[in-house]
């Protein structure tokens, strides 16, 4: 019995499904049923299918002197740190066994999140007046995030400015503070409004968060309304 892989080392990110084509050869003079066993790091999901099918298998019948191809589809956990990981596949019968080691080269991947002061996602503001809130921008991924730009979506005639407007980089697991200066329209009526703040990086990471802004009209507008 022999076991080999066309490409025993593949590279991707933590959310990549690594697919290897394995060839099992029956070099004996009798038909066999080759069983499959996996030795993988904790949390790694390994599934076997026929080479050109989607049906999951854990064994493969192979006539004497012939070979069969199968696919090994390996998915690491989302939070897998960058590095090289090894998964060992074993094909075995009652009297023979063969092994093939597969290498997964996992590249780090950045991931962004936004949150408000002390985790709050709401703020009070006055029509026509600027309200500044401090937002936490965090890289929850396993690689540094580069060139992060901030943007917003707000009701018509509102102004949303950021300080800074762009963050050069955030290391994996670290965060930075951003000041968002929100100015509701001067003629905005009292009530709740939604402002969406987004962040996008040069390395493809992105996130957005909705903030509820409760607008109150100023005393001057109240006097005008009474008059």
pLDDT more than 90, % of the chain:
76
Could you give the 3-state DSSP secondary structure of residue 219? helix
Query: Which residues in the chain come in under a pLDDT of 50?
Result: none
pLDDT score for 110: 86
How far apart are alpha carbons 127 and 218 in whole angstroms? 6
The span from the first CA to the last CA of the chain, in angstroms, equals 94
pLDDT score for 225: 60
pLDDT score for 227: 66
pLDDT score for 203: 85
- Are 72 and 91 in contact by the 8 Å Cβ rule? The answer is no
Cα 168 from chain centroid (whole Å): 21
pLDDT score for 81: 82
pLDDT score for 38: 97
pLDDT score for 14: 80
Residue 78 Cα distances to 138, 158, 175, 191, 202, angstroms: 17, 38, 20, 40, 20
For 155, the enclosing helix (H) or strand (E) is: none
pLDDT score for 206: 93
Q: From the CB of residue 34, how many other CB atoms can be counted at a distance below 10 Å?
A: 22
- Are 220 and 198 in contact by the 8 Å Cβ rule? The answer is no
How far apart are alpha carbons 6 and 19 in whole angstroms? 11
pLDDT, tens digit (0-9, with 9 covering 90-100), for 62-72: 999 999 999 99
Compute the residue count for the chain: 227
Burial class (CB in 10 A: 0-12, 13-18, 19+), 201: buried
How far apart are alpha carbons 157 and 155 in whole angstroms? 6
- Are 189 and 155 in contact by the 8 Å Cβ rule? The answer is no
């Amino acid at each position: 019995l022999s076991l080999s892989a066309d490409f025993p080392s593949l590279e991707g990110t933590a959310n990549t499904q690594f697919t290897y084509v394995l060839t099992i050869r029956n070099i004996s003079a009798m038909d066999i049923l080759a069983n499959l066993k996996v030795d993988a790091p904790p949390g790694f999901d390994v599934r076997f299918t026929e080479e050109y099918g989607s049906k999951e298998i854990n064994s493969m019948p192979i006539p004497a002197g012939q070979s069969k191809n199968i696919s090994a589809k390996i998915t690491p956990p989302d939070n897998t740190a960058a590095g090289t990981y090894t998964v060992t596949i074993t094909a075995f019968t009652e009297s023979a066994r063969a092994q093939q080691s597969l290498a997964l080269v996992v590249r780090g991947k950045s991931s962004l999140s936004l949150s408000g002061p002390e985790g709050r996602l709401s703020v009070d503001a006055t029509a026509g007046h600027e309200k500044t809130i401090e937002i936490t921008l965090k890289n929850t991924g396993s690689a540094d995030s580069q060139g992060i730009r901030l943007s917003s979506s707000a009701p018509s005639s509102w102004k949303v400015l950021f300080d800074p407007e762009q963050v050069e980089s955030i290391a994996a697991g670290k965060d930075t503070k951003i000041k968002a200066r929100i100015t509701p329209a001067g003629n905005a009526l009292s009530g709740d409004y939604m402002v969406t703040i987004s962040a996008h990086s040069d390395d493809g990471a992105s996130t957005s968060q909705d903030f509820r802004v409760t607008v109150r009209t100023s005393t001057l507008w109240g006097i005008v309304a009474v008059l």
